[in-house]
């Protein structure tokens, strides 16, 4: 490459915002000359670097914005150990097709059976294609919204929760909500429903006890369930905690019973 075109190439790559291609140009040009690549091989290689770097950055950004509490994929989930979860159904959900119709996914079951793990796995399947996901526990969600109410910026915070492709609300029902908190959670569910935006929700409480979750307001609970379940996939996970089961199988059976409770 003559000097004048070499400089022009860099300027144009920069003008086209092909940053990685610009940075790698010298090194790839030298490699192309040394290995006698064809022109199209050189161009393809340079653009491949640009596109793959962009994709990696988009995924990193989507993952970090999602604020997952930990990273575990569906591949990390031991479906053999948990026969009440249908692996094919999870694979289907991982395609993200449910999003197009604003379908919700509700994961129910006792502690330790992998509800949070599966919700994160489904979230990661989306962030790995660069889509916007937000993960939050129900308690953090209502605390954030309550604070926003007091600071007079509910509208702004609410729109951040409505806009992403997927909102994951974890641990609904672990703590009973105050009336104002229940109403804020209800608003999030309604607004996403109205915009046909999906929610993945996990809970240790069966639907029959959701009145308690929503500050002892069965009317609000049933209105929330109406929206969540209108278009939904409900996965009811049964059985004992995965970790406690592992411990039991590893020989601590004299210490822990089938319900995961210590025994004398
Ligand atoms: P839950 O949200 O239902 O209380 P978690 O998703 O927090 O349960 O799971 C607790 C721990 O056990 C996590 O580390 C999770 O990865 C692991 N776990 C639970 N079930 C399985 C499973 N079937 N295969 C692999 N790991 C599991
Ligand atoms: Mg959990």
CA 162–ligand 1 middle distance (angstroms)? 28
Kindly state the helix (H) or strand (E) to which residue 134 belongs, with its residue range. strand 133-137
Confidence of residue 6 (pLDDT cuts 50, 70, 90): confident
Report every protein residue that has its C-beta within 5 angstroms of ion ligand 2: 116
Chain-centre distance for alpha carbon 58: 15
- Rounded CA-CA distance 85/237 in Å is 6
Query: Relative to the CA of 76, which ligand 1 atom is closest?
Result: 25
- How much is the pLDDT for 263? 54
> Tens digit of pLDDT for each residue in 55-93?
999 999 999 999 999 999 999 999 999 999 999 999 999
Q: Whose CA is nearest to atom 25 of ligand 1?
A: 77
Q: Is the pLDDT of residue 260 over 60?
A: no
Q: Whose CA is nearest to atom 5 of ligand 1?
A: 114
Quote the mean pLDDT of the chain: 93
CA 115–ligand 2 middle distance (angstroms)? 5
Mean pLDDT within 18-38: 96
CA 48–ligand 2 middle distance (angstroms)? 39
The alpha carbons of the chain give a radius of gyration, in whole angstroms, of 24
- Rounded CA-CA distance 20/196 in Å is 37
CA neighbor of 116 nearest in space, from 138, 132, 99: 138
- How much is the pLDDT for 95? 97
Structure tokens that stand for 248 in this block: 């039991």
Query: Relative to the CA of 79, which ligand 1 atom is closest?
Result: 23
- Rounded CA-CA distance 53/58 in Å is 9
Could you tell me which residues come within 8 angstroms of residue 235 by beta carbon, excluding any fewer than 6 positions away? Answer: 85, 86, 89, 105, 106, 107, 108, 118
Which ligand is closest to the CA of 75, given by its number?
1
CA 37–ligand 1 middle distance (angstroms)? 50
């Amino acid at each position: 490459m003559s000097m004048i075109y070499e400089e022009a190439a860099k300027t144009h790559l920069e003008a086209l915002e092909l940053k990685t291609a610009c940075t790698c140009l010298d090194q790839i040009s030298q490699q192309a000359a040394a290995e006698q690549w064809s022109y199209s091989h050189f161009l393809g290689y340079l653009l491949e670097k640009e596109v793959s770097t962009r994709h990696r950055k988009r995924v990193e950004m989507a993952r970090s914005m999602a604020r997952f509490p930990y990273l575990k994929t569906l591949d990390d989930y031991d479906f053999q150990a948990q026969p009440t979860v249908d692996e094919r159904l999870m694979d289907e959900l991982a395609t993200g097709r449910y999003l197009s119709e604003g379908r919700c996914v509700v994961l129910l079951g006792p502690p330790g059976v992998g509800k949070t793990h599966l919700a994160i796995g489904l979230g990661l399947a989306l962030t790995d294609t660069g889509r916007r996901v937000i993960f939050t526990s129900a308690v953090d969600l209502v605390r954030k919204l309550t604070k926003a109410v007091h600071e007079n910026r509910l509208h702004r915070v609410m729109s951040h929760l409505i806009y992403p492709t997927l909102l994951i609300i974890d641990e609904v029902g672990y703590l009973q909500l105050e009336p104002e908190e229940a109403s804020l959670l209800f608003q999030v569910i309604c607004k996403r429903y109205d915009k046909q935006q999906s929610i993945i929700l996990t809970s240790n409480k069966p639907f029959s006890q959701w009145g308690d979750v929503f500050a002892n307001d069965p009317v609000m609970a049933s209105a929330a369930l109406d929206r969540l379940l209108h278009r939904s996939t409900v996965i009811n996970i049964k059985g004992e905690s995965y970790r406690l089961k592992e411990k039991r199988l590893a020989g601590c059976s004299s210490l822990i019973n089938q319900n995961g409770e210590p025994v004398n």
